[in-house]
Structure 1
């Protein structure tokens, strides 16, 4: 790899923004299916039929909170991931399964000690470290996004006359108003988000790197055999560079889809708990504005001569136990099929766009510095 940190940041941010817009509706559906109010809000109480006009309404509510957080968080993820991975390889005595191209890295970062960790462990450590950094930037956006996804815009009397853009803006404004007095609650669910993403990335990236290395090696052997049998003449450097870019991008996408499907299904229970924790972040009493006669509190929340107290906040573990007790194992896997499907698609697009962008910037940098793309 011959990329700078800026190259990695740009490639990661570009891939994340594109994918967010493509798969966001699926993420909204998953959040609504996993919410504790799914049966009450999105199903007819008499027939049990899904209210499609409500379930599929406003699928892009809250999307801008994700887009604005994606650029720094995805850039930080890949910069940290690549830095830790290549520093670990450079400090490794003999990592099992190490790629033969690792030593071509432009980075000179090295750990202050030597080790002999196998490649899957290095990838797990690198991805977990990157995830913890990324989640610090991503948690507020996730909280805003998932609460905005649950706003029922159809209850507004003017909902039929408002555009999708206005509905999205109104949903986000309504959610932001709930955090005005306590903005630190935007980080509610950081532990749950890290708790979901660490197992996911810890499984997905070692699996992804393993599958990709095997697929690329297989493809190279096939190409070598084909060239020997056909006696093809050597291609021009620009043609080879273009073929490698397309081929690497497609093979990366295939490997990401396989690893993402398995990892996302296995970690669905953690994702359900994380969704419930973040949706509960807005469960705070609403104080009427000064001079206002309106009071939006429920009868249970209104004071009766006593100081109104906040209901006790439930932790991640408590919410997990509550889901299992009330909904069983099936409740912990709610939205698993949707999550696996959109993760396979989004991760395939995400990592293939990232890899393609990274390789494009790498080849461009080599050309500017007068280095052959093949080196």
Structure 2
């Protein structure tokens, strides 16, 4: 129970909050590049922390939910931590289910965050009120499936690659890897996944930022992707790729490095307290 639920829940919350707060300005720049109104009209380099409030509130439970689900699914299928081929499939399935659950928590905050990022006149609170007034509660989930459309393929690439790199590194040095090594693996896997899924990210951003009655809000994410590519060119689908890859490469290092480090610290602390209690009672 502790290793499957509580440990990833706490470690995931710490990791999620850490990476989102540190790298928020890069995320803002990426969002403004992808906005249909263009980078400068969306705010340029002005107020790069617009929308931070909604993200800070949402990132902690979202990351905690993801890792709790991710570790629980892996434990349920009894994945061998030293295997490779079978575990690739297991990690992909675990990551996919993790994204489906965590996005239920994350998407409303993501909606508010991106509207605040792309409109220099809106704070997080004002973006929240605007969405609620214009579209009601369901408006906060307008980008749910487009986010899943982006996040599941991203996780299919990042997490199996992260786990694979950790296993290979551990075997090469013949001992468990340290948190900084997990961070390096997280950076590499995140950068690769970010580059490959940029068109999906552009599609998700456009759907979230579109006006209520815009045609793009009335079609699914795949059709929206095709529409953007047809009307604006393939190059437009890779808008913001450099800040996205940079952001997620650094973010992958912080997020997954902090996650593994937090797990180690929490486990050691609990183990030390148990030993102390046993010594005291004995």
Q: Distance in 2 between matches of 1:341 and 1:311?
A: 31
Question: Is residue 86 from structure 1 mapped to residue 75 from structure 2 by the alignment?
Answer: yes
8 A contact 2:4–2:75 mirrored in 1: no
Aligned partner (choices 47, 61, 65) of residue 50 of structure 2: 61
Question: Is residue 279 from structure 1 mapped to residue 209 from structure 2 by the alignment?
Answer: yes
Measured after TM superposition, the shift of residue 367 of structure 1 is 2.5
Taking a change above 3 Å as real, the CA distance of residues 32 and 39 of structure 1, as seen in their structure-2 partners, is closer
Q: Distance in 1 between matches of 2:214 and 2:168?
A: 53
Equivalence map 1:176-215=2 (5 Å): 176-181=128-133, 182-215=136-169
Aligned partner (choices 102, 117, 123) of residue 171 of structure 1: 123
Question: Is residue 122 from structure 1 mapped to residue 111 from structure 2 by the alignment?
Answer: no
Measured after TM superposition, the shift of residue 248 of structure 1 is 1.4
2:239 counterpart SS class? coil
Aligned partner (choices 99, 102, 106) of residue 81 of structure 2: 99
8 A contact 2:16–2:63 mirrored in 1: yes
Question: Is residue 219 from structure 1 mapped to residue 173 from structure 2 by the alignment?
Answer: yes
8 A contact 1:3–1:361 mirrored in 2: no
8 A contact 1:65–1:144 mirrored in 2: yes
Match of 1:314 in 2: 218
Q: Distance in 2 between matches of 1:177 and 1:66?
A: 16
Question: Is residue 147 from structure 1 mapped to residue 115 from structure 2 by the alignment?
Answer: yes
If you compute each CA radius of gyration, which structure gives the higher value, 1 or 2?
1
Measured after TM superposition, the shift of residue 179 of structure 1 is 2.0
Aligned partner (choices 182, 198, 203) of residue 252 of structure 1: 182
8 A contact 1:216–1:251 mirrored in 2: no
8 A contact 1:14–1:354 mirrored in 2: yes
**CA offsets per residue over residues 121-149 of structure 1, 9 Å max, x none?**
00001111111000001010111000100
Question: Is residue 355 from structure 1 mapped to residue 260 from structure 2 by the alignment?
Answer: yes
Aligned partner (choices 365, 368, 371) of residue 270 of structure 2: 365
TM-score, normalising length: structure 1:
0.68
Measured after TM superposition, the shift of residue 4 of structure 1 is 5.3
Match of 1:270 in 2: 200
Match of 1:230 in 2: none
Q: Distance in 2 between matches of 1:358 and 1:323?
A: 42
8 A contact 1:196–1:270 mirrored in 2: yes
1:99 counterpart SS class? coil
Name structure 2 gaps, 5 residues minimum: 277-282
Question: RMSD over aligned Cα, in angstroms?
Answer: 2.2
Measured after TM superposition, the shift of residue 81 of structure 1 is 0.4
The structure with more helix, counted as a fraction of residues: 2
8 A contact 1:73–1:137 mirrored in 2: yes
Taking a change above 3 Å as real, the CA distance of residues 351 and 216 of structure 1, as seen in their structure-2 partners, is same
Match of 2:10 in 1: 10
1:277 counterpart SS class? helix
Q: Distance in 1 between matches of 2:184 and 2:124?
A: 35
Question: Is residue 335 from structure 1 mapped to residue 240 from structure 2 by the alignment?
Answer: yes
8 A contact 2:52–2:124 mirrored in 1: no
| Residue correspondences, number | 271
**CA offsets per residue over residues 175-234 of structure 1, 9 Å max, x none?**
12322331211000100000100000011111110011111221227xxxxxxxxxxxxx
Q: Distance in 2 between matches of 1:273 and 1:317?
A: 8
Aligned partner (choices 75, 94, 98) of residue 64 of structure 2: 75
**CA offsets per residue over residues 240-292 of structure 1, 9 Å max, x none?**
xxxx7xx5101100111111111110000000000001111xx23xxxxxxxx
2:77 counterpart SS class? helix
Q: Distance in 1 between matches of 2:180 and 2:40?
A: 43
TM-score, normalising length: structure 2:
0.90
Q: Distance in 2 between matches of 1:128 and 1:72?
A: 17
2:174 counterpart SS class? helix
